[in-house]
């Protein structure tokens, strides 16, 4: 599938602001993929489709999650997480993308996971730092992404967890596990 076809499919699913965000994530993901030797076509497709289900009604996402026996523990956490696994499922079923690495990058672009591939990291970080993002610390995150995807991941995870803590929101355990894995790996690398 070429970029134009993919963008047309996604544009029909998203409101304009989310579509503009998607373009920013795509451009950032392509840049990061080039920089870190990741397959650019896979990064492009994963970025284009990362928010495929973002504008879907919550009750529809819930229905799909129940029918497909998806991560039931997600029901106890912020509904903002739901679009990632639902999106990965729909991208496979509706769009026909079956590449497991692309689907995995979509599925975990909000929570991360303990065994993140370079493609997973590219999409997670691109989503966090795309040009439309404007929050305290985003410039530091962008600078770290130019230095190291792992450093950018740690920064993004740490700040996401802090953001949720400050708002007394529950934090999905997989996000903690992802953060811990990066920190533990860093300690291992220093030995």
Domain ranges in the chain?
3-190
- Cβ atoms < 10 Å from Cβ of 107: 24
In this structure, the chain runs to a length of: 191
- Name residues whose C-beta falls within 8 Å of residue 104's C-beta, 6 or more positions apart in sequence: 88, 117, 119, 120
Q: Are 143 and 125 in contact (CB under 8 A)?
A: no
CATH assignment of 3-190, among 3.40.50.150, 1.10.3720.10, 1.10.3210.10, 1.50.10.100? 1.10.3210.10
Per-residue pLDDT tens over the stretch 110-133 = 999 999 999 999 999 999 999 999
Contact 46, 105 (CB under 8 A): yes
Is the pLDDT confidence value at 60 over 60? yes
pLDDT tens digits for range 147-164: 999 999 999 999 999 999
User: What percent of the chain stands above pLDDT 90?
Assistant: 90
Residue 172, pLDDT above cutoff 80:
yes
């Amino acid at each position: 599938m070429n970029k134009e076809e993919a963008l047309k499919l996604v544009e029909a699913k998203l409101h304009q602001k989310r579509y503009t965000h998607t373009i920013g994530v795509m451009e950032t993901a392509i840049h990061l993929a080039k920089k870190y030797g990741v397959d650019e076509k896979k990064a492009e497709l994963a970025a284009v489709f990362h928010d495929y289900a973002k504008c879907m009604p919550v009750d529809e996402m819930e229905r799909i999650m129940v029918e497909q026996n998806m991560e039931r523990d997600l029901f106890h956490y912020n509904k903002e997480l739901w679009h990632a696994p639902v999106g990965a499922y729909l991208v496979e079923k509706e769009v026909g993308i079956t590449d497991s690495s692309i689907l995995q990058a979509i599925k975990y672009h909000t929570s991360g996971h303990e065994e993140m591939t370079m493609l997973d990291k590219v999409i997670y970080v691109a989503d966090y730092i795309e040009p439309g993002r404007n929050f305290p610390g985003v410039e530091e995150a962008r600078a770290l992404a130019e230095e190291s995807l792992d450093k950018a991941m740690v920064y993004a995870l740490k700040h996401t967890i802090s953001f949720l803590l400050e708002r007394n929101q529950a934090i999905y355990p997989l996000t903690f596990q992802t953060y811990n894995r990066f920190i533990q790996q860093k300690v291992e690398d220093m030995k």
